[in-house]
Amino acid sequence: MSKLEINHLSISFGSQKILDDITFTAEEGEFISILGPSGSGKSTLFNLIGGILIPDEGSILLDGKEITGKRGSISYMPQSHALMPWRTILDNVLLGQEIAGKRDEKKALEMLGKAGLKGYEKHYPHELSGGMKQRVSFIRSLLSPQSLICLDEPFSALDEFTRFEMQNWLLSVWQQYKRTILFITHNIDEALYLSDRILVLSNKPASVQKEFIVPFKRPRTEEMLYSAEFLKWKQDIYREIKQYSL
Amino acid sequence: MKTLVEKGWRPTLVLVLLFIIWEFSVKILEIEQWLLPAPSQIFNELIHGTDVYLEHLWPTIQLCIIGLAIGCTVGIVTGIILHIVPFLRQAFYPILIISQNIPTIVLAPLLVIWFGFGMLPKIFVIILVCFFPITISLLDGFRQSDRDVMNYMKMAGATKQQIFWKLEWPNALPSLFSGIKISATYSVMGAVISEWLGASKGIGVYMQLSQSSFRTDRVFVAIILIVILSLLLLGLIMLLEKKMIRWRPKEGKSHE
Ligand SMILES: Nc1ncnc2c1ncn2[C@@H]1O[C@H](COP(=O)(O)OP(=O)(O)OP(=O)(O)O)[C@@H](O)[C@H]1O
Ligand SMILES: [Mg+2]
């Protein structure tokens, strides 16, 4: 049984069909990137998995149980950091747990420390840099009790350097906590560097156009980014996207 | 404290200069006292005339505070009810918005006719003028919740109650406080005007008595008292606001 099963998911907004017959599965502990052009419906897919939208057709199964239209089954990190400005960093990362009904401050403090945020627990979000806020938002989803994490372009607002740092940090955290991750991005390098599998979505309406299984060994290193093989993969994926979005 | 001195010396200087010009103009042009008293005469009355006005001060303060407190409570409760019952909101929100452009104070004479000259109609007037701005600012605050945070909470499985207390309510606090600040000013105005319509004690009464006996200096004293009362009330609310909203980023310096 797969961790997550997406079966023939379709949805329209008005007369515009956005998602058309999306089908894929995710295994326990797998890191899957979803790659697609802007406006293709990637966030919409997460809204469906998260239960705040109801599909016109199709179903979503988590651990074999149907969760279509049901909320509270996934841990989500939105495209913006979406922190609450009136909560301290510590209270912000505990929000997901609070909603589920239990606060584990000790674990939160430990994870904040590991993320290089020691000493900022009692600060407010506006006192942090963009990268730090993104880390806080990610820790919030990591501390939530749900085992499937959906990340919506978590690093797209960051500069190249911070982005790379955050990717490495994300990989180290993921290797330690082994959660299943769905990761939306429109950066091919990022998808290749992070994931086990890449799903390329087509545009208007979106369906899974192609699936790439990333062959690179873990732990991944910076050298990998400059290898000829990496470049070849990047080209393949790029061609695949271009062919459909034009 | 240091910024208070830094920011405050310029307006203070302007006021002092204004008083000096006023004082000398009155002396040089020999303006009669009942027409325009000199600042020195006004301050003299403010210091030495306490026997006359102190007894009028307390009823007005009482009126303002009780009226504002009840007005806030009614305003907040109404705001919350309208927010959680969409049907009521759709029915009443447009009426609230329109009524905000009408000076509700014009209803004061009616209230006096219905409820007599006691404290009750005056408090009613104040509640009436206070609760509109509070309800509207609260509703606006509720509606301005961040969409991404809202989506996050929904996906995390938050109940309606959790969304209200953890997101919508704290999000609306700054807006609520700006509504309360407007209402505080209105409450002083409401108190004075309702006292004009009929009362035995109060700053409004003191003002009217002074006016009809051509004690213009005392009219000015009444104005000063009203200004001080308004500012004190505003200060109190800002103090409360600072206590409750500690997270707001420091205001940028760009507007100075
Ligand atoms: N609630 C909605 N009502 C109507 N149309 C919507 C709604 N939400 C999204 N859309 C439309 O659906 C399409 C896909 O939106 P979505 O946000 O899923 O794109 P995306 O792939 O996440 O884009 P980006 O990479 O820019 O974030 C867009 O054309 C958008 O206008
Ligand atoms: Mg998106």
DSSP B32-92: -TTT---HHHHHHHHHH-HHHHHHHHHHHHHHHHHHHHHHHHHHHHHHHHHHH-HHHHHHH
Residue range B196-216: average pLDDT? Answer: 89
Examine the pLDDT at B256 and tell me if it is beyond 60. no
pLDDT value, residue A239:
86
pLDDT value, residue B251:
46
| Chain A residues touching residue B166 (CB < 8 angstroms) | 84, 95, 98-99
The residue assigned the tokens 């057709």 is A57
Instruction: Encode burial over B28-64: b for 16+ CB neighbours within 10 A, e otherwise.
Output: eeeeeeeebbbbebbbebbeebeeebeebbebbbebb
Indicate the pLDDT class of residue B177, thresholds 50, 70 and 90.
Answer: very high
Examine the pLDDT at B189 and tell me if it is beyond 80. yes
Is residue A154 in some structural domain?
no
pLDDT value, residue A208:
82
| Chain A residues touching residue B158 (CB < 8 angstroms) | 71-72, 99
The residue assigned the tokens 């000398």 is B24
pLDDT value, residue A69:
82
**Adjacent-strand bridge partners of A4:** A26, A62
Indicate the pLDDT class of residue B170, thresholds 50, 70 and 90.
Answer: very high
The residue whose CA has the least distance to atom 24 of ligand 1 is A38
Task: For residue range B26-45, list pLDDT tens digits in order.
Answer: 888 888 888 888 888 888 88
Residue range B102-112: average pLDDT? Answer: 79
CA distance A118 to A101: 25
Indicate if ligand 1 lies below 6 Å from the C-beta of A130: no
Is residue A105 in some structural domain?
no
Residue range A76-86: average pLDDT? Answer: 89
pTM summary value: 0.84
Residue of A99, A124, A126 lying closest to B157 (CB–CB): A99
Is residue A83 in some structural domain?
no
pLDDT value, residue A2:
84
Indicate if ligand 1 lies below 6 Å from the C-beta of A18: yes
Indicate the pLDDT class of residue A72, thresholds 50, 70 and 90.
Answer: confident
Could you say which residues from 167 to 226 on chain A have a Cβ atom under 8 Å away from some Cβ of chain B?
A: none
pLDDT value, residue B163:
94
Task: For residue range B53-94, list pLDDT tens digits in order.
Answer: 889 999 999 999 999 999 999 999 999 999 999 999 899 888
Best B144, B155, B162 residue to mutate vs chain A (most A CBs within 10 Å): B155
- B158 Cβ under 8 Å from any chain A Cβ: yes
Is residue A9 in some structural domain?
yes
Residue range A134-144: average pLDDT? Answer: 88
Is residue A147 in some structural domain?
no
pLDDT value, residue B224:
92
pLDDT value, residue A138:
87
Residue range A125-130: average pLDDT? Answer: 88
Contact B201, B78 (CB under 8 A): no
Examine the pLDDT at A231 and tell me if it is beyond 70. yes
Q: Find out if CATH 1.10.3720.10 is the number for domain B37-244.
A: yes
pLDDT value, residue A81:
86
Distance spanning both ends of chain B, measured CA to CA: 18
| Chain B residues touching residue A95 (CB < 8 angstroms) | 153, 156, 166
Indicate the pLDDT class of residue B172, thresholds 50, 70 and 90.
Answer: very high
Contact A161, A114 (CB under 8 A): no
Residue range A217-223: average pLDDT? Answer: 82
Is residue A65 in some structural domain?
yes
Contact state of A51 with B170 under an 8 Å Cβ cutoff: no
Examine the pLDDT at B215 and tell me if it is beyond 70. yes
pLDDT value, residue B253:
39
pLDDT value, residue B255:
38
Examine the pLDDT at B193 and tell me if it is beyond 80. yes
CA distance B83 to B68: 22
Is residue A165 in some structural domain?
no
* Residue of chain B with shortest Cα separation from A46: B155
pLDDT: is A52 or B5 the higher one? A52
pLDDT value, residue A29:
86
Mean pLDDT estimate for chain B: 88
- A78 Cβ under 8 Å from any chain B Cβ: yes
| Positive or negative torsion for Cα B24, B27, B33, B36 | negative
Query: With 0-12 CB in 10 A as exposed, 13-18 as middle and 19+ as buried, what is A101?
Result: exposed
Best B146, B147, B152, B163 residue to mutate vs chain A (most A CBs within 10 Å): B152
| Chain B residues touching residue A152 (CB < 8 angstroms) | none
User: What is the CATH classification number for the domain harbouring A226?
Assistant: 3.40.50.300
Is residue A114 in some structural domain?
no
pLDDT value, residue A244:
67
Residue range A4-23: average pLDDT? Answer: 88
Contact state of A71 with B154 under an 8 Å Cβ cutoff: yes
Distance spanning both ends of chain A, measured CA to CA: 37
Please give the residue range of the domain that contains residue A30. 1-74+186-246
Count up the domains in chain A and report the number. 1
Residue of B148, B246, B247 lying closest to A82 (CB–CB): B148
User: With pLDDT > 70 as the criterion, what percentage of chain A qualifies?
Assistant: 99
Contact state of B152 with A82 under an 8 Å Cβ cutoff: yes
Contact state of A52 with B173 under an 8 Å Cβ cutoff: no
A206: DSSP letter: B
Cβ neighbors of A172 (< 8 A, separation 6 or more) are none
Phi-psi category of A64—alpha, beta or left, where left has phi over 0 and alpha has psi -120 to 50?
Answer: left
> What is the number of the ligand 1 atom nearest to the C-alpha of A201?
21
Domain boundaries, chain B: 1-31, 37-244
pLDDT: is B176 or A155 the higher one? B176
